[in-house]
Amino acid sequence: MGEFDLIARYFTRPTPRAVLGVGDDCALLQPAPGTQMAISCDMLVQGRHFFADVDPAALGHKALAVNLSDLAACGATPLAFTLALALPLADDAWLAPFSRGLLALADAHGCELVGGDTTQGPLNICITVFGEVPVVHGRSQALLRSGARAGDDVYVSGTLGDARLALDALRGTRALPATVLAEARQRLEQPTPRVALGQALRGVASAAIDVSDGLLGDLRHILKASGVGATIDTSIAINLIASCTHKDWATGLISLNNQLEYVLAGGDDYELAFTAPASAREAVQAAARQAHTPVTRIGRIEPEAGLRLIDGQGQALPPHSFASFDHFA
Residues that bind ligand ADP (CB under 6 A): 7, 11, 22-25, 83, 85, 113, 115-118
Smaller CB separation from ligand ADP, 60 or 217: 60
Least distance (Å) between residue 23 CB and ligand ADP: 5
Which residue, 20 or 236, is less far from Mg ion as judged by CB?
20
Q: Which of 92, 107, 117, 311 binds Mg ion (CB under 5 A)?
A: 117
Nearer to Mg ion, 35 or 124 (CB): 124
Question: Alpha-carbon distance 280 to 214, whole Å?
Answer: 26
Cα gap 87→140, rounded to integer Å: 39
Q: CA 94, CA 87: separation in Å to the nearest integer? A: 10
Element (H, E) at 261: helix 256-265
Phi, psi (deg, nearest 5) at residue 211: -90, 100
- The nearest distance, CB 299 to ligand ADP, in angstroms, is 42
In the bound complex, what is the minimum distance in angstroms from residue 4's beta carbon to ligand ADP?
Answer: 7
Q: Write down the least CB distance from residue 162 to ligand ADP, Å.
A: 31
Residue 296 binds: one of Mg ion, ligand ADP, none (C-beta under 5 to 8 A by kind):
none
Site residues for Mg ion, 140-199, by CB under 5 A, read: none
- The residue among 91 and 117 lying less far from Mg ion, judged by its C-beta, is 117
Beta strands in the chain (DSSP E): 35-45, 77-87, 112-120, 124-136, 139-140, 153-157, 207-211, 229-233, 271-276, 295-302, 306-310
CA angle 213, 145, 237 (to 5 degrees): 50
Pick what 66 binds: ligand ADP, Mg ion, none; C-beta below 5 to 8 Å, kind-dependent.
none
Most distant CA pair in the chain, distance = 64
Amino acid 28 reads L
CA 244 to chain centre: 21
Q: Which stretch binds Mg ion (CB under 5 A): 2-10, 117-125, 213-221, 263-271?
A: 117-125
Q: Which does 56 bind (CB under 5 to 8 A by kind): ligand ADP, Mg ion, none?
A: none
Min separation Cβ 7 and Mg ion, Å? 10
Can you name the residues that pair with 207 across neighbouring β-strands?
275
Task: Determine the size of the site formed for Mg ion (CB under 5 A).
Answer: 1
Residue 92, contacted partner among ligand ADP, Mg ion, none, CB below 5-8 A by kind? none
Specify which residues 115 forms β-bridges with.
82
Enumerate binding residues for Mg ion (CB under 5 A).
117
